Structure formats: structure tokens, C-alpha cells
Structure 1
Amino acid sequence: MPILDSLEAENDPDEVPRPVVAFGLALATPGLELGPHRHRKAQLLLTLRGVLTCEVESGLWLVPPNCAIWIPGGALHAIKASGTIEGYNAFIEPADGIGLPASCCTVAVAPLLRELLVRAASLPVDYPESGRESHLVTLLLDEVAAAPVEQLHLPMPANERLRRIIEMMIADPADRGTMASWARRAGLSERSLARILTRETGMSFGRWRQQLAILLALQWMAKGASVQQVALDLGYESAGSFVTMFRKALGTTPGRYMSTLRRTAEPGDDDSSHV
């Protein structure tokens, strides 16, 4: 398959009679948005450079460098990207996805899985379904099933007043208002806000806002923002308090987390010419 300058393939992947259809991506755009749509086949979208956000039914997912989002077949989803995006896109036949995730998730991509995606993207659309190609596809599916899941998911409520709160929070993430103040802005009581948010997302207000802060922080750091700047933009009194929150949530510091994500995606990497 060729390297594409769009998130949409020239051939409809759902119509290609192969268990895996993969292609490379090389996008340079000030802003790209692919509206709500769905595929019969499952989708694995890997970013090597740049950051994607993907809203899948009731959740918002962040895809930073060297991670991939897994979207089950039939799931309604929308994708947004900005800046330079490089990576790989693979569509997987549901019948061949035994052992693969049943729900949407962001997964970390090990070097072997990345190389398998590179190799799969180099195959012709109608590659032979036996021999070396068959072994490559089988190993690719095994590696996707074994990929560790990253906590880069923000459950999204369906309630319109809660969605307005989310829009305001994203527009001004430094606003550290209390739950009571946010409830008043949405015309809700504090108790109603807590009840609806828990029912629709499974999270408390504090936990939900913390997860939003983590996703925004990772998005900004992937674009080059410093920890100090991110802490300031999120309304934290100091970088130290932000780092403490981040470590409690993800088990490591922001710097180490981003270093791990970027380890195999830096300019000059031996595989960068594949994209």
C-alpha cells in the first residue's frame, strides 16, 4: 500500500478481501478533522510523530507518539489531528481478530509491533494469503493482542449540560473552580452534577478532571511544551504539584513518560524512512 497524505485510504478497506489492510501516513496540516464515521473492520491507528485525538462513542482518546488506538469494527468515531502526523493505519477483519480487544483502547507499541506494521504497509493490496505474508499477518495480530493498554481515555458524558462544562474546561484548563462553581455554570446542583457524571462516566468529578488534565498535558508535551509551562497552563501552583499528581496517576514522572513514548520515534531513527 502507498504512503497516504490523508486518513482515508484510496481503496475502501472494508471491501478488500484480506485479513489486514495497512498503509503509511504522512500528514502536514494546520488542522484535520475526520467527522463521525464507522468501518466494518477494526482499525489500529499508530502515530510516530504528532498527536491524534479520537472520540469513540462515549469516550475521548489521546494517541501520542509511539502509541496506537484500537477501534473495534462498527464503532462510531471521529478523529482530529494538527501539525505533522506520521504513522500507520491498519484495518483488521473482525473474524481474524480472535483475542484482540473487544472495546476501544490506546495501546503502547513495542518495536516489533511497529516493524510488523511497517512490513504490512509495504504489501500490495492483494497480497498472497499464504506463505511469508500469512505468517507476518498472524504475528501482527498476536502482537496487537499482547500490546499493553495505556490509561489515555476520558469517558465522555452524553448529558448536554455536562458536555458544556467539558467544553468550558477545555477552553480554559487553568480554571481550578470547585465542583459547586462548575455546577452553577451549568444550571445544576452540585449533587446533580456528581450523580450524572458518576452515572455516565463511572468517575467522580475530581477524578474526571484529573484525567482531563493528564490528557491535555500529554498532548501539549508531545508538541514540545515544558513541564513548567504545562503546570502553569493547567492552573497548578507549581510544577512540583503537577508532577506529583501525574506520578500518582500514571506511576512515573511526565518527563520519563514522554521519554518512553518518544524513544523509538525520534528524528534519525533507523525506521523513520519507512513513513
Structure 2
Amino acid sequence: MRNVPLAEFDHLPAEVLPIATDYPPDYLLVWHEHRRAQFLYAATGTMLVETDEGAWTVPGERAVLIPPRVRHQVRMLDVQTSSLYIEPAAVPWWPGTCRVVEVAPLLRELLLEAAELDADYGDRSRDSALVALILEELATLTEVPLHVALPHEEPFSRLCRGYLAHPDVAVSNTDWARTAAMSERAFTRRFRELTGMSPAAWRAKARLLAAIPLLRHKTVTEVSALLGYASPAAFTYAFGRAFDVAPSSLRR
């Protein structure tokens, strides 16, 4: 099924509903939730996923696992997706929070094939076997740490969401503490309690996440300069240390 709304088919008894969708550039799927678990695969482009708990960046040829009933929004940057909407009982191991995962070549091909299935595929043995194999492959996926936690409290949440939208290397702990009308020491202590990271470390990781969509259209040298790194080598080292992949591997 392609470019069809889930609501038209969610009532069907199929354990897995595969739906592929083509999105306009910079399209925002506003806050919503699904009854089913969602496997959202970016065949092209980059997806920016937010929940109340965190923000995940999903490069092309990766996917994000979204739990059922979790409120989220997604910004689609030149994205074609292949989604699987899965009955929760079929995936009891599904995580309770979003996770970005690598998608191996076999699963990639299975997802492309599944997008051609009709809504009533369950009556055909080959199609049912295809979906069963997809479920087996989903259980073996490797997580990629392409996310930052988002604090629930204000003004911490507002500061973090604003920084994700417009990362600026010039912003300091002093700036954030002043905006929050707190001492820098109290602000840093409470921020660490809410996110598990210092404000400076959080901003550094957020800037690295912001590099991912830029890498599709710009060189490593250009991106490192835009994000305030002293050199491409310094940017590449920081990126690899944070995400265990080279930034050049995401330039597609």
C-alpha cells in the first residue's frame, strides 16, 4: 500500500500493515500517536522525530521504532518512508521508548517488497511468509545512539527544543542559566538530573545530530565550519566518538 492513511486500514485483522509514503520536502507530521507499534524506515532523506521524552535523528536507510500510544511528531526532510504498523501482541519485545536502528540489506529489500502488498494479503501464503520473515528480522536490529533526552520541566524543555531547531555554538551555560533566572550552578545541577548530561555535553550532542541532515548536501569540511568546530578532523573525531560512525558514511 502506498500513500494511503493508516486510519482506513487499522481495523483490519492483519498483524502487520505495510504502508509506503512519499512526503513533500520539509513536511511536518504534527503531534499524533498510533494504536499499533510503528517501524518507520527512511528509504531516502532524514527524519527528525520528537516525543515528550527525547529527539531522534534518523538518516536515510535507517529506521526508528516507535512504541504504541506514544505521542510524537516527525519532520520529513526529502523523505520516502516504508512503515510497518504492527499489532503490539505480535512484538512483545518492542521497546518502551523510541530507538534508531540500522537496517540490513535483507530487511531493506523485504520492506520494499512489503510495500507492494494489498491490505488483504493474509489470504496468500507467500505474502504471509514475507511478513513473518520481516518480524523475525526486526527482532535482530542494532540500535544507533542518534538521540538526546528532552527534559519535561520548563524552562529546560523550551531551551532544549529551541536549541535543536537552531543550534548555536556561541550559546553558553551562563546564557541558559540567565534565561532560566537561575544561578549557573543550580541550573547545571537540575539539568543533569533531568537529562543525565551536563548542559554543555547536551548541546554538543545536539549539534552533532544537527550535522546529519546537513551532510546530505554539504561536505564534512563545510558542516564542521557551520557547527563551529576548529577543523574537519575535530568534527569527525567528535562525531565518531558520539555515534560510532564516520560522518562521511551519512553523505547519501
| TM norm structure 2 | 0.91
Q: 1:176 offset after TM fit, Å?
A: 3.1
Residue 138 (structure 1) aligns with:
132
Over the aligned positions, Cα root-mean-square deviation in angstroms equals 2.0
How much does 1:74 deviate? 0.9
- Alpha-carbon distance in structure 2 between the residues aligned to 1:164 and 1:76: 17
Structure 1 CA distance for aligned equivalents of residues 123 and 95 of structure 2: 24
2:237 alignment counterpart: 244
Cα deviations by residue, 1:175-214 (Å, 9 ceiling, x for unpaired)? 3343233312332221222222222212222321122012
Rounded to whole Å, the distance in 1 between the matches of 2:114 and 2:22 is: 16
1:46–1:88: 8 Å Cα contact kept in structure 2?
yes
Superposed displacement of residue 169, structure 1: 2.8
- Given that 1:220 and 1:230 are in contact with CA atoms closer than 8 Å, whether structure 2 keeps it comes out as yes
Rounded to whole Å, the distance in 1 between the matches of 2:158 and 2:57 is: 20
CA contact (8 A) 1:69 1:105 kept: yes
Aligned pairs (5 A) from 1:1-275: 1=1, 3-4=2-3, 9=5, 11-29=7-25, 31-82=26-77, 84-128=78-122, 131-170=125-164, 172-222=166-216, 224-255=217-248, 257-258=249-250, 262=252
What SS does the aligned partner of 1:87 have? Answer: strand
Deviation at 1:130, TM superposition (A): 6.2
Q: Distance in 2 between matches of 1:251 and 1:51?
A: 18
Structure 2: distance between partners of 1:226 and 1:187: 39
Residues 172 and 74 (structure 1), Cα distance of their counterparts in 2 relative to 1, 3 Å cut: closer
Deviations 1:124-175 (A, max 9, x none): 1011256222222121111111111111111111222123322453454233
| Equivalent-residue separation in structure 1 for 2:6 and 2:168 (angstroms) | 42
Please report how far the alpha carbon of residue 121 of structure 1 lies from its aligned counterpart in structure 2 after TM superposition: 1.6
Mean Cα deviation higher: 169-178 or 72-81: 169-178
What is the rounded CA distance, in whole Å, between the counterparts of 1:186 and 1:234 in structure 2?
Answer: 24
Change (3 A) 1:38 1:11: closer
Does the 8 A contact of 1:18 with 1:129 survive in 2? no
Report the residue type matching 1:236 in the other structure: Y
Runs (5+) with no aligned partner, structure 1: 263-275
- Give distance in 2, aligned partners of 1:200 and 1:13: 39
Return 5+ residue gaps in structure 2 as ranges. Answer: none
**% identical equivalent positions:** 33
Aligned residues: 252
Whether contact under 8 Å (1:21, 1:91) holds in the other structure is: yes
Q: Residues 21-48 of structure 1: CA distance to partner in whole angstroms, max 9, x if unpaired? A: 012222233x321221111100111112
1:269 maps to which residue?
none
Q: 8 Å contact 2:58–2:100 — kept in the other structure?
A: yes
